[in-house]
Structure 1
Amino acid sequence: MKIGRILLFTGLLIGLCNLISPAQTLTPEQARTDLSYLKRKLDLLHPGMGYYTPQARMEQLYDSLYNRLTAPMDYLAFFHHVSPLVTALKDGHTNLNHRKNFISKQTRFIPFYIRPVGTQYFISHNVSPDTSLRRGTELLTINGRTVADLHHELMNNDHSGSDGDNLTGRRQWSLVQFADYYAAWYGSSDSIVITYRFPKDTLTRQKRLACPTLHGFRAIMQRRYRNEIDHRPNLSVRVVDTLTHTAVLRVSSFMGLKKTDPFQWAFNRRLKQAFKQIRQQNVQNLVVDMQGNGGGIVMNSARLLQYWMPKPFTIMEHEEMKGAARNELVTRWNPFSALNFSLQYKHTTAGGFASRSSRRRYRPKKQMAFKGNLYFLMNGASFSATTSVLAKTLDAGMGTFVGEASGSAYWGDFAGHFKMVTLPNSRMQVRIPLKKLTHAVVPDRANGFTVEPDFTVTRSYDDLMANRDYVLDYTLRLVRQGVVARQPIKIRPLQASR
C-alpha cells in the first residue's frame, strides 16, 4: 500500500498536541470548572447529544467524572479524565485536542509504521537507526505492553473518524497514525524498549531504540522509502488494464484545491478534466479509490456524483442545528452575517434552525456521464463527505464496494459548521460540530449502519511484504472476472409521443 497519504496525515495530531511543554497541575476547582464548561457547551451546541448514547447515560458519566475530581491532577491525567465524556458521544467529528502550542520541534515519536495481519502486528516502515528491523519484523511489545493492547487502548480513547459503534474508522486511524496517537496519549518519549521477531525466526529479541523528532521521521522516510511515496494528485486518472478498459480515479479529498476558492471552481475543473480523460480513453470499468478520504466540502461530493447518478438528486434531506448555534454564525464584526443567516436558515418547532437550501438538486452531467461498471475502494478512513458519496450511490442501486466499512453512518452525520471550544484552565480544545446532516437516502436500502463492502478484503503477509495495495489488487481480479454487485442502470432515451 502506498504511503503518500500517510505522510500527508502524519502530524495531524501534532498540530493539536504538544506533549513536552512544562508540566501543568490543575487544582480540583480548576478541573471541575473545565469539565462543567465543556458539558455546558456540548449541551448548548452539539446536535447529537443523546443520539448514540442516551442522555441519561451522558448525565451519569458526567456526574461520575465531576465527582472524582477531588485532588490536584497533572495536565495529561486530566486529558485522560476528560476523554470519556467526548468519546461517549460516539461522534467521529467531535475531537478532544491538546492545548494550543503544546507541540514543539523536540517532540519525539515511535520510529515505525505498524500494520496488522490477522491478530499480529508488523513493522512496515522503519525510521529507527537500526536498519535490521526490516519490513515484516513482528512487533510484540513496546515498553512492556503488547502492541495489540496498546492499539486497543488508543482506538477506544479517540472516536475521531468513526461514528456510532463502528470500529473501522478508529481502527484505521489509530494504526495509520499510531506514532501520533501514542505520543498524544502517553507523552513524548526519548526512547522505547521493544520486543520483536525477525521474519521466519522464532527467537524473541529485545532492543532499546531512540525516538526521532517529526523532522527526523520525515527525512528518513523520504530517504529510505522514496519509491513508495504516493505522488498521485487528487482527482488523477490512471489506466491500469487496457484489456478490460479499466482506470483508477483517485479521490483523496473533497476539500478545495485552493484556499481562496469559495465556489470550488478549481475542484470542478479538475473533476471535469478527469471525466473527459475517462471518456476519451474509453474506460468501461472505473475504480474510484476513496481509501483514506476523510471528507471535505459536500458540494464537491455532489459534483462527483453528477458524473454517474442516473437522475437529478439531492445530497441532504435535512440540515438542522440548535438555537444556540446561531450565535456562533452571526458575529458583531460582520454586519451582514445576521442577514445571511436569516436567508439561509429558518426556525424549527423545536427551537432550533433548519437550512432553507438543504434539498438543493443536482443534475447529472449527461454528456460526460460514466455509464460503465463502478467499483469503489473504501476503508474506515473513508469518512464524512466520502460516506455521503457511497451512501447516495448505494441508495441508487449502483456500484460494487470493496475493502471495509466506511467510517460514517449511512443515515448521515454531525458536521457542517464547527465551533472550537477552549477549556478555561487547561486550555484543551474540543471541536464541536453544529449541524445534523441527514442524507437523502431510503433507510431500507442500507446494507449496514455504515456503507458496508460487498467484498471484504484484508491484508495478507505477502501483501505487507510487497507493500501492495491489496484492495485494488482484489478489485482488479473482480473486474477481470466480470464480477459486479450491481449492474449499471440503463436509462431509456426519451421518445416523442405518437
Structure 2
Amino acid sequence: MRKIVLFGFTLLFFVQCTSIKRHNKHLNDLMAEEKLKSDVDFTYRKLRDLHPNLYWYINKKDLDYKFDSLKSTITKPMTRFEFYKKISPAVAAVRQGHITVYPPTKLMTKKETKALLKRGTGPFSQFDFELFDGKLYVVKNKSYDKTIKTGTEVVAVNGTKPINLIKQYNKFYSSDGYNTTFKTHFSGKRFSTFFTNENGIKDSIKFNFKFNDSIKTITIRRKAEDTIGKHLKKNRKKLAVIDKTKSKANRKKKRVHGYYSVEKNYNRNLHFLEKDSSVALMKIRSFKIGDSKTFYKESFSKIATYQSKTLVLDLRNNGGGRLNEIADLYSYLADSTFVFLDKSEVVSKSSLFKGAYFHGGSFGVKALKTIFSPLMYSYLLLTVHKNKNGKNYYATQTKPHKVSKNVFKGKVYVLINGGSFSASSIISSNLKGSKRAFFVGEETGGAYNGTIAGFMPRVKLPNTDIKIRIGLMFIAPHFKTAPEGRGIFPDIEIIPTLEDRIKENDPEMNWILNDVKSNISEISKTK
C-alpha cells in the first residue's frame, strides 16, 4: 500500500512538472482568430450561466455590444497575453470587483520557486508603494540602500513610467459599482504585479527616483538573506524552546490572531490606547486567517473587564474574507437581535453544484468529490429555494442572531478607506445602516448594497487556458442605501496625504482621539 501511495505522489509530481513545461513552452504561441473568438463566446456564456446579477451596473444591450465589439477587433492571430488585454476590459465592464481575469504568465515548479526564494528578496519586495495625485511614491523602504527616503517619487522603472502602466491595467479590473477609491488604493500597491506581468520576474531593476527635485538612477538588486541574522534567529528559537510557557503562548497567539510570516505581523490585534484603557483599538487586516471566534471572545471579554468606553474598529485596507466571521464580530457590536444578510441570490442549484463544488483540486480530490456529490447535491436541494419572483436563493447568515454575552455598548468608531472591500464593506453597511457606529476616512472600495462573491470558482477558457474568477452568490447586507454602486461614505472624510506618510502621521486616528477627548470634556462640563 505504501508503495502504491508513493507511486501516486511521484506520478502526480511528474504530471504537474510536465504540465508546467508544456504551459511555458506554448505561452507565446500565436493563436488562431476562430479559437480566440470561441473563448470570447465561452466567457460571456459562463458569465450568464453563473453570475446571479450580471446586468446590475450595465444593461444587457450594452454588455452584448461590448462582447460583440470585442470579437470584431480580433482580426489576426495573437498570443494569450495579447488576448488577456483584449478580453479583460469587456469582463471589467460588469463592474464587479470579485471578477478577476488572470493574466497568462510563466509558471514555476516547486524546485524553481524554492531556488528563487533562496536567492533572496526581489527588488520590488524591498519597497511599499502608494499612489498620490497620479504619482507613485515609496512609503516604506526595506532595501539595503537607505538613501531612498519615504516620500521619494518613482519616476520610471526600467524606463517605464508607472502612471502609464497603471492607467493601462486600471482598464483590466473593476471595483464594485462606480466608486474610484478602490482603484486608487489597489493600483499603487499592485504596480509591481503589473510590471511583472509585462516583464517577468527580475533579479535587478533600474529605478529613476525623484526626491526634493533631484533625480537619481539607482539599481536595486535581489537582496540575499542575512545569514548572520538567520543564524541569530535560529539561536533565539533554540533559547525560546527552553521557556516552554512563552513558546506555547506565542504559538497560540499566532494561531488565534493569524500571523503573516512574510510581513511579520498579526492579522488581528487589540490594543488599549489610554492609561485607563478607556479606548480599545481593534485592527483587522482581513477576515481570513486565524481563529477569529476565539479572538473576538477573548478580546471583548478583555474590553468588558477593562470597562472600555470607546472602541475603534480599524478596517482600512481590509480586503474581506469569511461571512461567518463578520457575522460573529457584529454580534459583539449590535444593539439588539439582528438579521445580518438577506438571502443570497444564485442562478440555480446547478450553478453552485457544478460551478463551485466540482471546481478545482487534484485528480484525487475530484474523485472524492464525486463520491460525496450525492450528499452535496441533497444539501443544495434543501438550502437553495425558488421564490415567488422565480429567482433562486441560498440562505446563509439570514436567521435572527442574538447579541453575544460581552456585547460592547459604548461608542464605536470605524476607520475605512478605498481598500475596505467585500466582507469589510458588508459589516460596515450593517453598522452604518443600524446607526451603531461613526465612520471616519474615505468611501469604501466595496459597495454598500452588496457584492457578488461567496463561492468563486476559477473558470478556464478552453483554448487560451486563461482563468476567470466568477462570484456565484449575490450577497446583500440587511441594510440598504439609495445610491446604487457606491460604497459606505464616512461621517467625517479624512484622506491621508503624502506628507502624512513621510511624517508617519495618522490623521484619521488622530481625529478620533481628539473627538473622544472633546466628548469627555463636554460631559465633564455638564456635571
TM-score (norm 1): 0.80
Give the Cα–Cα distance (whole angstroms) in 2 for the partners of residues 166 and 236 of structure 1.
29
Give the Cα–Cα distance (whole angstroms) in 2 for the partners of residues 343 and 217 of structure 1.
55
The structure with the largest strand share of the pair is 1
Does structure 1 residue 203 correspond to structure 2 residue 236? no
Give the Cα–Cα distance (whole angstroms) in 2 for the partners of residues 21 and 478 of structure 1.
57
Which residue of structure 2 lines up, in the alignment, with residue 245 of structure 1? 278
What whole-Å deviation, never above 9, does each CA across 1:18-49 have from its counterpart, x for those lacking one? 9x944422221221222221111111111131
Q: Match for 2:151 among 136, 155, 159?
A: 136
TM-superposed deviation, 1:246: 1.1
Further displaced range: 239-248 or 269-278: 239-248
Q: Match for 1:325 among 331, 340, 351?
A: 351
Q: Would the alpha carbon gap of residues 468 and 185 (structure 1) be closer, same or farther in structure 2, given more than 3 Å must change?
A: farther
Give the Cα–Cα distance (whole angstroms) in 1 for the partners of residues 148 and 319 of structure 2.
31
- The residue identity in structure 2 corresponding to 1:209 is T
Which residue of structure 2 lines up, in the alignment, with residue 114 of structure 1? 129
- The residue identity in structure 2 corresponding to 1:121 is L
Alignment of 1:83-482 (within 5 A): 83-99=88-104, 102=107, 105=113, 110=124, 112-126=127-141, 130-159=145-174, 162-185=175-198, 187-189=200-202, 191-198=204-211, 201-205=212-216, 207=217, 209-210=219-220, 212=222, 216=223, 233-242=266-275, 245-255=278-288, 257=290, 266-323=291-348, 324-328=350-354, 332-333=370-371, 334-348=373-387, 352-356=391-395, 359-365=398-404, 367-443=405-481, 449-482=486-519
Secondary structure (helix, strand or coil) at the match of 1:71 reads: coil
What whole-Å deviation, never above 9, does each CA across 1:3-26 have from its counterpart, x for those lacking one? xxxxxxxxxxxxxx99x9444222
Matched residue pairs, number? 445
Which residue of structure 2 lines up, in the alignment, with residue 488 of structure 1? none
Q: Would the alpha carbon gap of residues 447 and 356 (structure 1) be closer, same or farther in structure 2, given more than 3 Å must change?
A: closer
Q: Would the alpha carbon gap of residues 267 and 210 (structure 1) be closer, same or farther in structure 2, given more than 3 Å must change?
A: closer
Judge conservation of contact 1:314–1:362 (CA < 8 Å) in 2.
yes
TM-superposed deviation, 1:154: 2.9
TM-superposed deviation, 1:354: 1.0
Judge conservation of contact 2:131–2:185 (CA < 8 Å) in 1.
no
TM-superposed deviation, 1:474: 3.3
Does structure 1 residue 61 correspond to structure 2 residue 80? no
Secondary structure (helix, strand or coil) at the match of 2:280 reads: strand
Judge conservation of contact 2:428–2:488 (CA < 8 Å) in 1.
yes
What whole-Å deviation, never above 9, does each CA across 1:358-412 have from its counterpart, x for those lacking one? 52111112x4121111111112121111111111011111211112211211111
Q: Would the alpha carbon gap of residues 256 and 144 (structure 1) be closer, same or farther in structure 2, given more than 3 Å must change?
A: closer
Judge conservation of contact 1:418–1:431 (CA < 8 Å) in 2.
yes
Secondary structure (helix, strand or coil) at the match of 1:421 reads: strand
Structure with more contact order per residue of length (Cα contacts < 8 Å, sep ≥ 6): 1
Secondary structure (helix, strand or coil) at the match of 1:184 reads: helix
- The residue identity in structure 2 corresponding to 1:457 is I
Secondary structure (helix, strand or coil) at the match of 1:362 reads: coil
Q: Which runs of 5+ in 1 are unaligned?
A: 1-16, 258-265, 485-498
Q: Would the alpha carbon gap of residues 109 and 179 (structure 1) be closer, same or farther in structure 2, given more than 3 Å must change?
A: farther
Judge conservation of contact 1:383–1:406 (CA < 8 Å) in 2.
yes
What whole-Å deviation, never above 9, does each CA across 1:268-307 have from its counterpart, x for those lacking one? 2221100011111121111111112211121211111111
Judge conservation of contact 1:109–1:179 (CA < 8 Å) in 2.
no
- The residue identity in structure 1 corresponding to 2:400 is R
TM-superposed deviation, 1:120: 4.2
Which residue of structure 2 lines up, in the alignment, with residue 44 of structure 1? 49
Give the Cα–Cα distance (whole angstroms) in 1 for the partners of residues 333 and 296 of structure 2.
13
Q: Would the alpha carbon gap of residues 41 and 219 (structure 1) be closer, same or farther in structure 2, given more than 3 Å must change?
A: farther
What whole-Å deviation, never above 9, does each CA across 1:51-108 have from its counterpart, x for those lacking one? 1121111111111111222212122211111111221111011111134873564696
Q: Would the alpha carbon gap of residues 98 and 350 (structure 1) be closer, same or farther in structure 2, given more than 3 Å must change?
A: farther
Secondary structure (helix, strand or coil) at the match of 2:470 reads: strand
Judge conservation of contact 1:346–1:353 (CA < 8 Å) in 2.
yes
Give the Cα–Cα distance (whole angstroms) in 2 for the partners of residues 481 and 462 of structure 1.
26
What whole-Å deviation, never above 9, does each CA across 1:233-267 have from its counterpart, x for those lacking one? 3442101122672121122222252xxxxxxxx42
TM-score (norm 2): 0.76
Give the Cα–Cα distance (whole angstroms) in 1 for the partners of residues 224 and 193 of structure 2.
12
Give the Cα–Cα distance (whole angstroms) in 2 for the partners of residues 217 and 322 of structure 1.
50
Further displaced range: 343-352 or 331-340: 343-352
Larger radius of gyration: 2
What percent of counterpart residues are identical? 23
Q: Which runs of 5+ in 2 are unaligned?
A: 1-19, 234-261, 359-369, 522-527
Secondary structure (helix, strand or coil) at the match of 1:414 reads: strand
Secondary structure (helix, strand or coil) at the match of 1:122 reads: strand
- The residue identity in structure 2 corresponding to 1:70 is T
Judge conservation of contact 1:109–1:188 (CA < 8 Å) in 2.
no
Secondary structure (helix, strand or coil) at the match of 1:467 reads: coil
Judge conservation of contact 1:112–1:179 (CA < 8 Å) in 2.
no
Q: Would the alpha carbon gap of residues 218 and 455 (structure 1) be closer, same or farther in structure 2, given more than 3 Å must change?
A: farther
Q: Would the alpha carbon gap of residues 476 and 119 (structure 1) be closer, same or farther in structure 2, given more than 3 Å must change?
A: farther
Give the Cα–Cα distance (whole angstroms) in 2 for the partners of residues 330 and 189 of structure 1.
37
The structure with the largest helix share of the pair is 2
- The residue identity in structure 2 corresponding to 1:241 is E
Q: Would the alpha carbon gap of residues 363 and 245 (structure 1) be closer, same or farther in structure 2, given more than 3 Å must change?
A: same
Q: Would the alpha carbon gap of residues 219 and 429 (structure 1) be closer, same or farther in structure 2, given more than 3 Å must change?
A: farther
Aligned-residue RMSD, C-alpha = 3.3
Give the Cα–Cα distance (whole angstroms) in 1 for the partners of residues 50 and 138 of structure 2.
42
- The residue identity in structure 1 corresponding to 2:394 is S
Judge conservation of contact 1:249–1:288 (CA < 8 Å) in 2.
yes
Which residue of structure 2 lines up, in the alignment, with residue 34 of structure 1? 39
Q: Which runs of 4+ in 1 moved over 6 A?
A: 217-220
- The residue identity in structure 2 corresponding to 1:318 is K
- The residue identity in structure 2 corresponding to 1:49 is L
